[in-house]
Structure 1
Amino acid sequence: MLSVSGLTTSFLRERQWIPVVCDVSFDIASRETVAIVGESGSGKSVTALSIMRLIPKENGRVEGSVRLAGRDLLTLPEASMKDVRGNEIAMIFQEPMTSLNPVLTIGFQIAEALIQHRGLSRAAAEVETICLLDRVRIPAAKSRFHEHPHRFSGGMRQRVMIAMALACKPRLLIADEPTTALDVTIQAQILELLKELQQEEEMSILFITHDMGVVAEIADRTVVMYGGQAVETDATARIFASPSHPYTRSLLAAVPRLGSMDGRTRPMRFPTVDKVTGTSDEPAETPDTVSIAERPLLEVSNLTTRFPIRSGLFGKVSGRVHAVENISFTLRAGETLALVGESGCGKSTTGRSILKLTEPDSGTVLVDGQDVLAMNARTLRDFRKQMQIVFQDPFASLNPRMSVGTAIAAPLLANGLVTASQAREKVADLLVRVGLTADMAARFPHEFSGGQRQRICIARALALGPKLIVADEAVSALDVSVKAQVVNLMLDLQASMGLAYLFISHDIAVVERMSHRVAVMYLGEIVETGPRAALFGNPQHPYTKKLMGAVPVPDPARRGTRREATNDEIRSPVRAPDYQPPVRQFREVSPGHVVQLWGEEWSN
């Protein structure tokens, strides 16, 4: 149905054509799903944009042939290509909010495609749009037709993009990382939806991703890209069973597999595989260099954080977001406590409340026996040397106009701990410690990859010698191989320095790999907590089971197994101003493994 042959895409830089996709060839049959997999920068997205002829002509050049049902798209006039886009080939991008116009309703934007390509009247297009929203399982589609994109969750916005892509019944759907930024439960819903729609519409799918678990679940055949080249192409089952290229073996080795920690007592590093030779090490459990302290370093008791919602002329409080609701836990030096749950459950607000970056409503936070919430601004500023945070997006965390050496030295100089010459020595030492080189201090953030930028943020967090690090989705946005490298780095630093991590994540498989204990959050409350082995080996709460059941399994043999993926969104944490939360009851399943007793909402 689609035949790509000798595709080469180059960009003009300093008067030279630099190829970023080199001689890539593959075919997609009717009703077939082909996955293109690889790290960021491997050429996956550029390949898709080249197929769609979306590479700017001013500084881009596409060579080779792209035949759709026998027609070479690269030789078509632009007017003919406009008819192909949307009608015969549709594309879904990674971030739906950059693809949707925030000032137009979602119904108007989908109807626009129907009017443009299918010549429907505005009224007929509205009826067809509501049918499309129903097909992609958006609840109350008719009433949500006139809503704007910001009123939808990330998963629902991606459903809107799928509805828009399917509006003209395309023969080929290109999905460019459509689930990367989504929670594991929402990802499961989107994957199930795509499989169902593919069967109904009899269309082909080109699925671009770096997640090998998703590849195993959705792809018939797989193209592995590295450095702009297709280094391996084969049936997905064969690639997983016996990968021939060293890079493919390194990708598969870095995939976190749920259940791989059975029988292990301590966290375990990911295996490292040489991308050139394919040789790998055999990782052992993290060394017990620094033993976990008996006395808690962090003690959180009855922490509550709510955000008022104001409306009306005088800003009267009309409701409150119950972001964190009466939670308690402890964390010891040398230990990792993972806080897991979907977006909106209160994980990040918990981390920010502990550091007093967000002001809690009530509760106590003791760090090394001292009450953080009772400190004044000056005392807190000095005390923050002991507790640092690493954010999800390293590029947003670094000043683009500041060299990384200056960024790492800033907290040292601001606190008057070193002179300028001592700061340079300290920066060099920190860069080496996180796996970079001292000469990189002069570079700027844009000159580094995503994984390297996250290492720089970790180096900056380590500069003041903290005892506690809050890692807020610190590896969620990274490619699978880079994610493995950063997790290994964090485990090594913990073993050598006795760091305590509050590891906030929605990636269950990574959490299983690196945590000592786990706390599961839902709607601002901790519904289950316990030692990692106990909680993963015997999950009790329905929400914990739902999270674990949604994790994609990197095994193509299980592709035909249908998972139970509901279309439910996480319930809203907004409550009336006078709302009083119920008193929760808990029971201890095994030593340290505690679960909240659940009510009618989980009975089904």
Structure 2
Amino acid sequence: MEKQEFVASETESVLSVRNLTTSFRIGSQWRSVVRDMNFDIAPRETVAIVGESGSGKSVTSLSVMRLLPENSSRIEGSVKLAGRELLDLDREAMRQVRGNDISMIFQEPMTSLNPIFPIGKQIAEAILCHRNVSAAEAKDEVLRLLDKVRIPNAKNRFDEYPHQFSGGMRQRVMIAMALASRPKLLIADEPTTALDVTIQGQILDLIKQLQDEEGMAVLFITHDMGVVAEISDRTIVMFRGEAVETGTTDDIFNRGRHPYTRALLSAVPKLGSMGGRERPMRFPVIDIASGETVVPETEAGGVEESARPVLEVKNLTTRFDIRSGLFGRKSGAVHAVENVSFDLRPGETLALVGESGCGKSTTGRSITRLVEPSGGEISVDGYQVGQLGAAELRRMRRTIQMVFQDPFASLDPRMSVGEAVMEPFIEHKLGSKNEARDKAADLLERVGLGADMMPRYPHEFSGGQRQRIAIARSLMLDPKIIVADEAVSALDVSIKAQVCNLLLDLQQSFNLAYLFISHDMAVVERVSHRVAVMYLGEIVEIGPRQAVFDNPQHPYTKKLMAAVPVPDPARRNLKRNLNTEEIKSPIRPVGFVPPQRQYRQVGEGHLVQA
């Protein structure tokens, strides 16, 4: 079937939404989750819908695309694409609209791509389904699109599979697929949330560039206010299914009136806002109902310089063997962590930063021996970790605990929250069940939950609450060190601010040392005392937070900072022109000997790889 062209003049809207209300059937009742949405998007315009999880952003976009299940959802109002009412179309007509005139990019590219087909074939399928072209013409068009989305060596990568691409490159493939039919409207649903900061910067630049070239309208859905400031012309703020404020992005950021808008903006860490401050700073918290500041921005605790380190790491190396062939002979190794050294004092936060695959998480897991290191020395509160037997290792782990990125995956869905928090205390035989219950209740109160929540199960809590539960559980053994592995990365902006404040409060109360693993440079600047930047398994720069952020020396550190979205609408037309190369592979052949690295000192405690 030939593509039908819907032509919109420069003065009329590509998309016009009026009184959009979406309801879901719950039992015998209909419950509205999006109410009375009204907005327009003009050609070459970007409109952002911003709000936290559950605010109705994604349901709005799925309603426009009519991708919600017909038997359990009801869409009312009007959705017009270039003057044509989409809610009145039959299934086949709507299917033609979806591929031809509206395209959508989803948050997680790996679940959107079929793992058993080469990426070239998947993009070609999108073209062949909607355009009357030959297979050869479709292949030529795919190569053109792959070049357009800046995938290097597109011709050779046509026959590669999704697992052979990095996260950023997979998202580029999804954008190429979305552009295959030259849509009038591109809906981007959290397209950069799961990506590293440098890859996120590249994708934002790419969407801006393609919009200029193709003349598309873009509906951009996100909870990241920094991204909104850089990409959108107008912004719609959603809260509990309704648009509470709409306006130009400049107005929303500089003259936002609704308390929820101000609460969202106050929770956004702004890179460079810590200039001149040595200690971490708590986030201000604004009450959504009243608009009043309930937690002011305050300075957190410092570090006693004379204190003996509670964690010392010297020349830590962790490698994973690669075996291949009929007999499984070793053919190489992943050099995940290579010759890493640092120490950590009581009450101090050392942030490990870098992109996915740089070795941050492997470093944290090696220190706790959840992953077996290949070499080096680790001292945890006097324990020589590499020499410990099973019983001693168990005792050592009372001193060092981990908080993982996904709290739902780290909590047993069959155990109540009370049982989950009590379990470490009982397993280590530190007291009776009643003592465990009392301590768990006290810790849940400390992390902002109530003891009355102990009988509930993990699925009954929000993501932010589950992360608080995981933090309470990590404190049950009175640890001296907590390894926080991307502990706030998956959280909404206001929840992230609350959990960061909680971590700072607990650090002051218990004199905890944190190894804070993250790729979010703006959060790291806010909460850390020292920063170590990792690249390909090595620390390339380490020093006091203020020194590293105010005076970055290594090119990779500068690249990370240049990629951070800044919540300032004045930067909306900025093109960062970031390098689109993928991060190099840490795989090395058998017998590879890493070069000896030299470090130069550029300030007190500030070292940079030469």
The alignment's TM-score, normalised by the length of structure 2, stands at 0.97
Structural mapping, 1:17-96, within 5 Å: 17-96=30-109
Partner of 1:297 in structure 2? 310
Change (3 A) 1:13 1:379: same
Provide the rounded CA distance (Å) in 1 between the counterparts of 2:598 and 2:398: 37
Partner of 1:118 in structure 2? 131
Identity level (%): 67
Deviations 1:372-406 (A, max 9, x none): 11101111012211100001111111111221111
Task: Name whichever of 434-443 and 502-511 sits farther off.
Answer: 434-443
Partner of 1:276 in structure 2? 289
Following TM superposition, by how much is the alpha carbon of 1:421 offset from its aligned partner in structure 2, in angstroms? 2.1
Confirm whether residue 416 of structure 1 aligns to residue 421 of structure 2: no
Do 2:301 and 2:347's aligned partners in 1 also have CA atoms closer than 8 Å?
A: no
Provide the rounded CA distance (Å) in 2 between the counterparts of 1:151 and 1:473: 24
Provide the rounded CA distance (Å) in 1 between the counterparts of 2:522 and 2:202: 18
Confirm whether residue 159 of structure 1 aligns to residue 172 of structure 2: yes
Following TM superposition, by how much is the alpha carbon of 1:277 offset from its aligned partner in structure 2, in angstroms? 1.3
Structural mapping, 1:144-543, within 5 Å: 144-280=157-293, 281-287=295-301, 291=304, 294-543=307-556
Provide the rounded CA distance (Å) in 2 between the counterparts of 1:42 and 1:508: 26
Provide the rounded CA distance (Å) in 1 between the counterparts of 2:188 and 2:466: 27
Q: Which amino acid aligns with 2:158?
A: F
Following TM superposition, by how much is the alpha carbon of 1:121 offset from its aligned partner in structure 2, in angstroms? 2.0
Q: Secondary structure at the match of 1:385?
A: coil
Do 2:332 and 2:588's aligned partners in 1 also have CA atoms closer than 8 Å?
A: yes
Following TM superposition, by how much is the alpha carbon of 1:423 offset from its aligned partner in structure 2, in angstroms? 2.1
**One of 116, 119, 125 as aligned partner of 1:103:** 116
Q: Secondary structure at the match of 1:373?
A: helix
Do 1:292 and 1:335's aligned partners in 2 also have CA atoms closer than 8 Å?
A: no
Do 2:312 and 2:379's aligned partners in 1 also have CA atoms closer than 8 Å?
A: yes
Provide the rounded CA distance (Å) in 2 between the counterparts of 1:287 and 1:188: 33
Following TM superposition, by how much is the alpha carbon of 1:112 offset from its aligned partner in structure 2, in angstroms? 0.6
Provide the rounded CA distance (Å) in 1 between the counterparts of 2:198 and 2:586: 18
Deviations 1:321-341 (A, max 9, x none): 110000100000100000000
Deviations 1:434-469 (A, max 9, x none): 111111111111111111111111011111110000
Deviations 1:522-548 (A, max 9, x none): 000000000011111111000000001
Q: Secondary structure at the match of 2:140?
A: helix
Matched residues, number: 596
Deviations 1:272-317 (A, max 9, x none): 11111111243121145x8566210000000000111111001111
Deviations 1:101-159 (A, max 9, x none): 11111111111111100122222211211111111111111111111111100000000
Confirm whether residue 550 of structure 1 aligns to residue 563 of structure 2: yes
Q: Secondary structure at the match of 2:356?
A: coil
Q: Which amino acid aligns with 2:17?
A: V
Provide the rounded CA distance (Å) in 2 between the counterparts of 1:200 and 1:311: 46
Provide the rounded CA distance (Å) in 1 between the counterparts of 2:137 and 2:297: 60
Task: Name whichever of 500-509 and 69-78 sits farther off.
Answer: 69-78
Q: Secondary structure at the match of 2:454?
A: helix
Provide the rounded CA distance (Å) in 2 between the counterparts of 1:493 and 1:85: 50
Name stretches of at least 5 consecutive residues in structure 2 with no aligned partner.
1-13
Give structure 1 regions of 4+ aligned residues with deviation exceeding 4 angstroms: 290-293
Provide the rounded CA distance (Å) in 2 between the counterparts of 1:452 and 1:568: 38
Following TM superposition, by how much is the alpha carbon of 1:564 offset from its aligned partner in structure 2, in angstroms? 2.9
Provide the rounded CA distance (Å) in 2 between the counterparts of 1:505 and 1:394: 16
Change (3 A) 1:301 1:287: closer
Q: Which amino acid aligns with 1:144?
A: R
Q: Secondary structure at the match of 2:471?
A: helix
Do 2:230 and 2:574's aligned partners in 1 also have CA atoms closer than 8 Å?
A: no
Do 2:380 and 2:396's aligned partners in 1 also have CA atoms closer than 8 Å?
A: no
Provide the rounded CA distance (Å) in 2 between the counterparts of 1:402 and 1:105: 41
Confirm whether residue 584 of structure 1 aligns to residue 601 of structure 2: no
Provide the rounded CA distance (Å) in 2 between the counterparts of 1:293 and 1:371: 22
Change (3 A) 1:184 1:307: same
Provide the rounded CA distance (Å) in 1 between the counterparts of 2:454 and 2:155: 55
| RMSD over equivalenced CA pairs, Å | 1.0
Provide the rounded CA distance (Å) in 1 between the counterparts of 2:71 and 2:404: 37
Q: Secondary structure at the match of 1:442?
A: coil
Q: Which amino acid aligns with 2:79?
A: V
Q: Which amino acid aligns with 1:268?
A: M
Confirm whether residue 137 of structure 1 aligns to residue 150 of structure 2: yes
**One of 564, 567, 577 as aligned partner of 1:564:** 577
Q: Which amino acid aligns with 1:66?
A: V
Deviations 1:38-88 (A, max 9, x none): 000000000000000011011111111111111111111111100000200
Provide the rounded CA distance (Å) in 2 between the counterparts of 1:469 and 1:316: 38
Provide the rounded CA distance (Å) in 2 between the counterparts of 1:86 and 1:92: 12
Q: Which amino acid aligns with 1:444?
A: Y
Provide the rounded CA distance (Å) in 2 between the counterparts of 1:293 and 1:39: 43
The alignment's TM-score, normalised by the length of structure 1, stands at 0.98
Q: Which amino acid aligns with 1:376?
A: G
Q: Which amino acid aligns with 1:135?
A: K
Provide the rounded CA distance (Å) in 2 between the counterparts of 1:293 and 1:461: 27
Provide the rounded CA distance (Å) in 2 between the counterparts of 1:293 and 1:123: 70
Do 1:303 and 1:325's aligned partners in 2 also have CA atoms closer than 8 Å?
A: yes
Do 2:46 and 2:220's aligned partners in 1 also have CA atoms closer than 8 Å?
A: yes
Deviations 1:569-600 (A, max 9, x none): 11111111111011111111011001010xxx
Provide the rounded CA distance (Å) in 2 between the counterparts of 1:582 and 1:554: 40
Provide the rounded CA distance (Å) in 2 between the counterparts of 1:427 and 1:13: 35
Following TM superposition, by how much is the alpha carbon of 1:552 offset from its aligned partner in structure 2, in angstroms? 0.7
Do 2:280 and 2:301's aligned partners in 1 also have CA atoms closer than 8 Å?
A: no
Do 1:291 and 1:498's aligned partners in 2 also have CA atoms closer than 8 Å?
A: no
Provide the rounded CA distance (Å) in 1 between the counterparts of 2:326 and 2:140: 38
